[in-house]
Chains A and B, each alone.
Chain A
Amino acid sequence: MTSQVSSPAEKADGSDGAEGAESAESAESADAAHDTVVGEQRSTPGRRASDKEVRRLDRVIIRFAGDSGDGMQLTGDRFTSETAAFGNDLSTLPNFPAEIRAPAGTLPGVSSFQLHFADHDILTPGDAPNVLVAMNPAALKANIGDVPRGADIIVNTDEFTKRPMAKVGYETSPLEDGSLEAYNVHPVPLTTMTIEALKDFGLSRKEAERSKNMFALGLLSWMYHRPTEGTERFLRAKFAKKPQIAEANVAAFRAGWNFGETTEDFAVSYEVNPATRAFPPGTYRNISGNLALSYGLIAAGQQADLPLYLGSYPITPASDILHELSRHKNFGVRTFQAEDEIAAIGAALGAAFGGQLAVTTTSGPGVALKSETIGLAVSLELPLLVVAIQRGGPSTGLPTKTEQADLLQAMYGRNGEAPVPIVAPRTPADCFDAAMDAARIALTYRTPVFLLSDGYLANGSEPWRIPEIDELPDLRVQFATGPNHELADGTEVFWPYKRDPQTLARPWAVPGTPGLEHRIGGIEKQDGTGNISYDPANHDFMVRTRQAKIDGIEVPDLEVDDPDHARTLVLGWGSTYGPITAAVRRLRAAGTPIAQAHLRHLNPFPRNLGEILARYEKVVVPEMNLGQLATLLRAKYLVDAHSYNQVNGMPFKAEQLATALKEATHD
């Protein structure tokens, strides 16, 4: 096992803060390090109960890869849960095809799950795996390009027969033709061993074979000293109605563990200590972006003391939020699966008129369909959350891959002058706070708000410090209860478009309130009364007022992290936070000063953004699009923002970004 190499750490201070001393191992793999940076792993030799050697690492990147039907996502999820329970910091990257079951054994059918875990604070799912588990030839072929030389590759040899290899264009077996010489290949007949382990369960061969992912999970759990009780409990609960299947999976899981413990091929196992110092005190759990976002919505409803109403139409990668919220009806949450995207937002808007905290969830193509209704919500000035989980576009694009190319759609994708605030979470756990912040803006300013997440945040996960309820913001609002205007003759009336002078928000008068009967609509209305008005001066005034309301939304000032008084600023938004921060740490560790800032509010921008941009000689904007934020910055601040772009459906890799940023600082 010599895959462990060193690289600059993704550490806040960029220093080598790990407890473990450098071992001989790093020296052994020094040649590998020349070519590829795997991510830092330091190890300390040790001993376990058995005679095998135990080494200590400070971080590891594992990738499970197999056929869509092999259960790789479940395997990754379980390893993640074990790792979270153990107390490591972690970050995950599930990566799967849009097809539910692409033809078995083909390259398009490969599904993978990458997990990065460490004894310190980390920011990304890692650039390159230290360990690849390849369940078949397709999984090997599809992933080998990402695996640095010297890394461990565990292959299921049972699948390396003529036909599966031919399917992906292997003329000779890569396990035998020397093409994997640079790697540490561990050939394991996973299928045969699983079937053998389950022979007394009375299962068909096919049924038994399905547990091979649990065998692999058991083996990896042994290799990295993961706790196992959680997985056994999970399997028994998942298959509660099929106890035989539950026990078979547990048996396969244990067989994998025991195989690691006994076979000579795996001579070393690894320990990664809990990341005790990375986390402030508190109670933690692991959470994915879509789950955190769902919880944020429920919490916002509770904190606003308003019933939550979700109108949604299933779309990848947003459907999980619909699924999650529909499970929490005991919070008074109503979920409505509409006939289409338009009806979904329509129902939400109707619910908003009725005084609910209304939400619609979707992704790019759905946003396009909802545009007209978002415009209506702008005109009606009702609170409405539009949750958009971005995916690759245009059109159907890449449904299961990530991208940030809907920023301009969120910003401008409506007829007329129809400004909509935009809030973007930066990490999976941050989706919780971002959802609550979006609700605050919608409720305070009576406006639709975009909550712009993406596929990477949605499916990725990380540890989250669970907030105490009393830490959460108070989002309660006041409905209108009586007249708010006095006519010249002294009559007291209700004017639906008479604004709060501070926020410019109009009153929220919900049906059922006596005396406040009023009509609202998409036609331009007279300031104050809300009656239909085609008056030119009034329209000019209303357009400017709606814009001024959004421009005046209170958002916190942008904070800049610039310990070295750098000349270059890297500015990002949304899910690029992890890779950008990791890249910035690498630069600073190597002695290159660089300043970093990250935008949560894309509309309106923080008040101090212009001043910050002006402070730096150079501004670099990495985005997973062709420069949409850069376009906005250039237009608004006349700043020569430099774009660094990637639109391959995957998050940035820290090393690649670090290289790009380093070049930018030298230009």
Chain B
Amino acid sequence: MTEALSLVPKAEAKQSMKDFKSDQEVRWCPGCGDYAVLAAVQGFMPELGLAKENIVFVSGIGCSSRFPYYMNTYGMHSIHGRAPAIATGLASSRRDLSVWVVTGDGDALSIGGNHLIHALRRNVNLKILLFNNRIYGLTKGQYSPTSEVGKITKSTPMGSLDAPFNPVSLAIGAEAGFVARTVDSDRKHLTEVLRQAADHPGTALVEIYQNCNIFNDGAFDALKDKQQAEEAVIRLEHGQPIRFGADGSKGVVRDPATGDLKVVTVTAETEARILVHDAHAASPTTAFALSRLADPDTLHHTPIGVLRSVERPVYDTLMADQLDAAIEQHGKGDLSALLAGNDTWTVVG
């Protein structure tokens, strides 16, 4: 077992996917990408082998935030944007729990943006699954903070004006130790990313591109269509050269003049310069540069996989250490002595 979950009790018996299905009817729209993610998570959980009573899913508001109701673990469906804050209180006081946050692009990046960035910098032991469908679904189709500029929606009949966030860039900028991106329809990839996230001590952010077939259908087709995906998707694997396209015909190199990354056709001359992905690099610079390769409109050159996985001191561990240190230095708290303080006088009856 990993250090991240070393304090979480193990399941006594072998678990299966159905152990993690609650008795509640799943109420997402037929065809929603959320079904695929739910199945992947329920299918992956037995692999962790944790006592399911020690697993908690906390969500905010939005379509994806109904997720906890469908997991047969402890769960809280909270209020809009606040799941990272609530989960922080739980995880920082209960290190024997495996705490997961389920959120969406509106929940995490708009109303809850502040909590997300602070959870990331603090590095509380949380696994944050950010379902990004680039639209507001539950409120029936307004643009979101990840929607492309000019998007026509109910609230933007002449096109949206705001530039979108790139959640991966944002997370890296917020000092995240673990940042990954995956796609709802690629169960194998999704599961592998979950595995690495679960393994990571501290906050892990997993952006999951998720299709909303009602209000933003096909938003990620460029990454899903077999033909297009070859050119559009850059699959990152730690320690491997960053190549993609038909037969690995494209690669990522560093421009010696600017230090920036760019896509080149692999040739005898460029092959030696193809960047080898190092998810564990201490500096976030290259991971950030990788996150910027994707075109926000066409999604061409979208890296998926683990962009960054670096260990940093974990908030809840540090918090517990301070409690231990305080007891070591001052002894276990004595209420009587505390209340009395140093300056007392006595009134005799």
Contact = CB atoms under 8 A, between A and B. Distances in A.
Interface of A: 81, 84-85, 87, 230, 276, 279-286, 295, 298-299, 302, 307, 309, 311, 328-334, 336, 338-340, 342-344, 346-356, 358, 372-373, 375-376, 380, 466-469, 511-523, 531-532
B53 A514 contact: yes
Contact of B341 (A285, A330, A513, A514): A285
A361 B35 CA distance: 40
A468 B54 CA distance: 38
Nearest to B91: A350
B340 interface: yes
B86 to A, nearest CB: 4
Nearest to B8: A512
Contacts of A276: 347
A353 B68 CA distance: 15
B292 interface: no
B90 A351 contact: yes
A343 B114 CA distance: 9
A152 B103 CA distance: 66
B76 interface: yes
A85 B331 CA distance: 28
B86 A347 contact: yes
Nearest to B111: A342
| Most B-side CB within 10 Å, residue of A87, A329, A513, A514 | A329
Contact of B346 (A284, A336, A515): A284
B79 A280 contact: no
Given A87-B345, A331-B333, A520-B77, A354 B52 contact: no
- What 10 A-B pairs come out closest when comparing CB atoms? A521-B77, A350-B89, A346-B85, A347-B89, A331-B333, A281-B349, A329-B326, A343-B85, A350-B90, A350-B86
B93 interface: yes
Contacts of B28: none
A339 B115 contact: yes
B347 A284 contact: yes
Nearest to B346: A283
B261 interface: no
Nearest to B81: A342
Contact of B114 (A280, A339, A349): A339
- Mostly, the A contact residues are mixed
B338 A353 contact: no
A347 B85 contact: yes
A354 B87 CA distance: 10
B92 A521 contact: no
Contacts of A280: 347, 349
Contacts of B69: 519, 521, 532
Given A332-B323, A373-B79, A517 B72 contact: yes
B73 interface: yes
B78 A521 contact: yes
Contacts of B79: 372-373, 375-376, 522
B348 interface: yes
Contacts of B127: none
Given A334-B323, A343-B114, 16 more contacts: A85-B343, A87-B345, A295-B339, A309-B89, A311-B89, A329-B327, A331-B335, A334-B319, A343-B118, A350-B88, A354-B89, A354-B93, A375-B79, A511-B54, A511-B74, A519-B77
Nearest to B115: A343
Nearest to A509: B74
A433 to B, nearest CB: 12
Interface in B32-76: 51-56, 58, 68-69, 71-76
B323 A283 contact: no
A516 B54 CA distance: 11
B77 A523 contact: yes
Contacts of B52: 517
A230 B336 contact: no
A283 B93 contact: no
B76 A343 contact: no
A339 B77 CA distance: 21
Interface string B313-326: 00000010011011
Given A299-B335, A353-B76, A532-B69, A358 B344 contact: no
A343 B79 CA distance: 12
A81 B343 CA distance: 8
Given A84-B343, A284-B345, A519-B22, A330 B326 contact: yes
B224 interface: no
Contacts of B331: 330
Nearest to B61: A522
B102 to A, nearest CB: 12
A178 B332 CA distance: 62
Contacts of A330: 323, 326-327, 329-333
A343 to B, nearest CB: 4
B96 interface: yes
Given A349-B89, A466-B339, A521-B69, A376 B78 contact: yes
A18 to B, nearest CB: 18
16 contacts: A230-B343, A281-B347, A285-B340, A285-B341, A302-B333, A328-B333, A332-B323, A334-B92, A336-B92, A346-B78, A347-B85, A353-B86, A356-B93, A511-B55, A519-B24, A520-B76
Contacts of B336: 468-469
Contact of B93 (A309, A469, A522): A309
A512 B343 contact: no
B129 to A, nearest CB: 16
B89 A516 contact: no
A514 B339 contact: no
A339 B96 CA distance: 24
A373 B82 contact: yes
B90 A353 contact: yes
Nearest to A349: B86
B89 A358 contact: yes
Most A CB atoms within 10 A — which of B54, B88, B96?
Answer: B88
A477 B347 CA distance: 36
Contacts of B323: 329-330, 332-334
B82 A346 contact: yes
A84 B94 CA distance: 42
A520 B75 CA distance: 6
Nearest to B58: A350
Contacts of A286: 343
B108 interface: no
A339 B174 CA distance: 13
Nearest to B72: A517
A328 B56 contact: no
B343 A282 contact: no
Contacts of B86: 346-347, 349-350, 353
B78 A522 contact: yes
A33 to B, nearest CB: 33
A118 to B, nearest CB: 15
Contact of A350 (B87, B322, B338): B87
B97 interface: yes
Contacts of A328: 326, 333, 338
B85 A519 contact: no
Contacts of B344: 283-285, 466
Contacts of A517: 52-53, 72-74
